[in-house]
Amino acid sequence: MKSNIISILTALLLCFGMGARADNVVTIGTASGAPGEEVTVSVGLANTDAVSSLQLSIPMNEELTFVDGSAVLGSRCTDHSVTAGVKDNMLNIMVYSMNLGAISGNDGEVVSFRLKLGNQPTTIALTGSKLILTDTDGENVAGSTQNGSVGIRCAKAQYSSMSVDFGSVPIRSTYTRTFSVTNVGNEPLEITGLQFNTYPTDFSSTTSFPLTIAAGGNASINITYAPQERGTINETVKVVCNSISKLNNIALKAQPFAVNELHVQPTSGIADEVVTVSLTMNNMDAISGFQFEFALPPALTYMENSFQLSDRKQGHSVVQTLKDGVLRIIGYSSSDTPFSGNDGELATMQFRLSGRNSVTLKASKAILTATINNQAENVCSAHYGATVTIKSPRINAGSTLNMNSTPVTQDAISNFVVRNYGNAPLTISRIVFDKDDLYIGQELPLTIAANKNVTLNVVNPSIAEGDFSALMQIYSNDPEQRLWNVSITGNRFAPNYLSFSTPDIYADQNLSVNVSMSNYDAINGLQFDVEYPSAYFEPTDELITTARSAGLSVSQRNINANTVRLFFYSLSDAEIASGDGEVLTFKLRAKGETPAGNYSLRITNIKLGTANMQDKYAGTNITCNFNVKNSIVGDVNRDGFVDSGDVMAIYSSMAGNSDPEIQTRSDVNSDGLVDSGDIMAIYSIMAGN
């Protein structure tokens, strides 16, 4: 018997790898169940050949365990035996007949076996391999396999975090955190509720239960925390559910504390002024004392003994010291009585402001004392600083002022603009000059609003002639520029001027030039050069002085072909007194008909001499313009018209009462005589002939 079995097995083994000759399909069945259950897997055969034996191997997953002795032949195997076992994670099944009898029928179950399921939700493929089929002659026949599967059906919870940490939170408030649950299983996850390990507890949840999460889905669960006392909290909450995993405990952590805070309140003020800073305290504990230290910035000067407790005090005392820029303040109650209330102003203190920059005031050390469990503790949970805004003026002005050159007959007045580029009023308290004569036209003190300016009138009334300089010092409340220096320069002079005038003339007319002088000083000498159009004019000896220049002599000499120099001088200390008016008339003779047009005289080298031989002329070179007009025939009196006035001028010439120029112009008909013929010529012109 044993030898026959060996022969059959040998024959089956020799048939490995042979080619297919018919359609013979081995089918591995499908099964599913809950973790730990045993499921039956069927192996079927659909065959066209007469199959007498079957050998099949199936790899085993770690979540599957073959149940020993569970392999059972199907009803088609009436003369067959079966062996099944696992080796090297491979389930090997052999169905055989000792007498090579055929498996009856052509389709249906051949054998079945049981598998015990693991605890991880999954679907495991049952893959057939090493299939051997033999016929009734012991020859192998071709075959193929159809794979099956085994499903482990269960829910499995996976959490976004295994702890919920609320951190440091103030008591007497409510806080909420959430964590998410994902169902990584293949059956619905049923969460029926939460179980907290501590009772009573400050933890709770507002999530509604029961909660169903489909396979692959997720949901959020919130944890609400409402602490009432300080401490360190470590608790757990269990998620009650049908998860195959037993890791359903979530750690709950928190560090609740009482809120006892010190706040420096913001304030603002103007540099050099005193501001009050308020300290407020909001407290959950009964605060009976405090200790504060402030490292004061240079911009804040503490006003001695200005720290004052508010009406929250209950017989409390204060000790305040200032050393090396550190302000230390201690408040205490000899009877350990707490301050009243739990929110509001605790105290005030005062500082004098300086500079122009805002600063932060914050306690470098803050202790709030309360008695907790019969023990004095520092219960200050936080302290906050604030900004002290320092508003200040900012002076801006020029550093120099040129008052230019001004006559001593009037005050020298110059505008000087002072600007305030700051954000607080600028006050000019005083302005000082290092020279007595100068002063400011405005009254002081003078206030300039922020971002505005004012124009100062700087006045020099001095009659001293010559250049002058001075230093103007502006004192203001600019915290960084208390003194503003301005260098002043200028010149004062005696206003001694000459002016020249001449009328328009006709082409054949001589040019008469009037010279006037406006003089502050008494003048006893005068000189000037006249450049003239020498092509048409030449100097004459007609130099006519006026009453202002009486006592002075006048002369002239030619400098070159087109320049004549005129002199005023006195041999007896005569002078032209201070004043205004004409001093001389001189004439330039027309050489002939001067072409009509605009001409000019240029007066240069002007000198006005005083008794001490100083040239006191204050002006510059002068240009005197005049116009030459075309002559009108018959306009004897040169009034621009030919009329009865010209007739009267001819009668006057006939009587010998006219000057030479009019005498010449009276010969209207150019016959060399002044007679009635010239009068008739005038009437003819008047008649348009």
pLDDT of residue 642: 81
Question: Which residues are registered as beta bridge partners of 592?
Answer: none
CA 683 from chain centre, in angstroms, equals 92
SS3 of the chain: helix, strand, coil, percent, to 5: 5, 55, 40
The yes-or-no verdict on residue 535 having pLDDT over 60 is yes
Whether 6 shows a pLDDT value over 70: the answer reads no
List where CATH 2.60.40.10 sits in the chain. Answer: 157-257, 395-493
- pLDDT one-digit tens code per residue, 440-464: 999 999 999 999 999 999 999 999 9
Tell me the mean pLDDT in the region 504-522: 93
Distance CA 252, CA 264 (A): 36
At residue 420, the pLDDT reads 97
**In percent, how much of the chain has pLDDT > 90?**
83
Distant-in-sequence, close-in-space partners of 664: CB < 8 Å, separation ≥ 6: none
Backbone angles phi, psi at 550, to 5 degrees: -60, 140
pLDDT value of position 547: 93
Per cent of the chain over pLDDT 70 is 97
Answer for the pair 554, 515: CB distance below 8 angstroms, yes or no: no
Question: Cβ(340)–Cβ(303) under 8 Å?
Answer: no
Cβ 116 vs Cβ 69: under 8 Å: no
The answer to whether residues 552 and 570 touch, using CB atoms and an 8 Å cutoff, is yes
Give the integer Cα–Cα distance in Å for 113 and 57. 13
Q: Is 552 a residue whose pLDDT tops 60?
A: yes
DSSP 548: G
Residue 48 has pLDDT above 50, yes or no: yes
Contacts of 644 by beta carbon, 8 Å cutoff, 6+ apart: none
Q: Considering the domain 497-629 in this protein, what is its CATH number? A: 2.60.40.680
Is the model more confident about 487 or about 665?
Answer: 487
171-175: list long-range contacts, CB under 8 Å, 24+ apart.
171/227, 171/228, 171/229, 171/230, 171/256, 171/257, 171/258, 171/259, 171/284, 172/227, 172/228, 172/284, 173/226, 173/227, 174/224, 174/225, 174/226, 175/224, 175/225, 175/226
pTM: 0.61
Among residues 285, 373, 281, 289, the alpha carbon closest in space to that of 335 is found at: 289
**Phi, psi for residue 607 in degrees, rounded to 5:** -135, 135
Fold classified for 2-152: Immunoglobulin-like (2.60.40)
Q: Which CATH number does the domain 395-493 belong to among 3.30.70.20, 3.40.605.10, 2.60.40.10, 3.40.50.460?
A: 2.60.40.10
- Of the candidates 382, 601, 402, 365, the one whose C-alpha atom is nearest the C-alpha of residue 490 is 402
| DSSP state letter for 513 | E
What six digits make up the tokens of 493? 């002079």
Q: By the 8 A CB rule, do 235 and 201 touch?
A: yes
Quote the radius of gyration of the chain (alpha carbons, Å): 64
Q: Mean per-residue pLDDT for 98-125?
A: 94
The rounded distance, in Å, linking the Cα atoms of 198 and 204 is: 11
Q: Average the pLDDT over 350-355 and give the result.
A: 95
pLDDT at 636 over 80: no
CA distance 524 to 572: 10
Whether residue 132 is predicted with pLDDT greater than 70 in this model: the reply is yes
Architecture of the domain defined by 260-391: Sandwich (2.60)
What dotted CATH number matches 157-257?
2.60.40.10
Looking at this protein, which amino acid is placed at residue 112?
S
Kindly report whether the peptide bond that precedes residue 188 is cis, defined as omega within 30 degrees of 0. Answer: no
Instruction: Return the DSSP state at 410.
Output: S
Q: pLDDT (tens digit, 9 = 90+) per residue, 77-90?
A: 989 999 999 999 99
Q: Could you tell me the sign of the dihedral formed by the alpha carbons of 95, 98, 100, 103, in that order? A: negative
Residues of the chain with CATH 2.60.40.680: 2-152, 260-391, 497-629
Looking at residue 681, its pLDDT comes to 79
Closest CA to 191 of 203, 201, 183: 183
Q: What is the DSSP string of 209-260?
A: SSEEE-TT-EEEEEEEE---S-S-EEEEEEEEE-BS----EEEEEEEEE--E
234 closest CA partner among 225, 221, 244: 225
What tens digit of pLDDT does each residue of 173-211 get? 999 999 999 999 999 999 999 999 999 999 999 999 999
Structure tokens at 659: 């000057």
CB atoms within 10 A of CB 202: 21
Burial class (CB in 10 A: 0-12, 13-18, 19+), 353: buried
CA distance 439 to 413: 10
658 pLDDT tier (thresholds 50, 70, 90) = low
Question: Which range in 310-324, 569-583, 625-639 is most confidently predicted, on average pLDDT?
Answer: 310-324
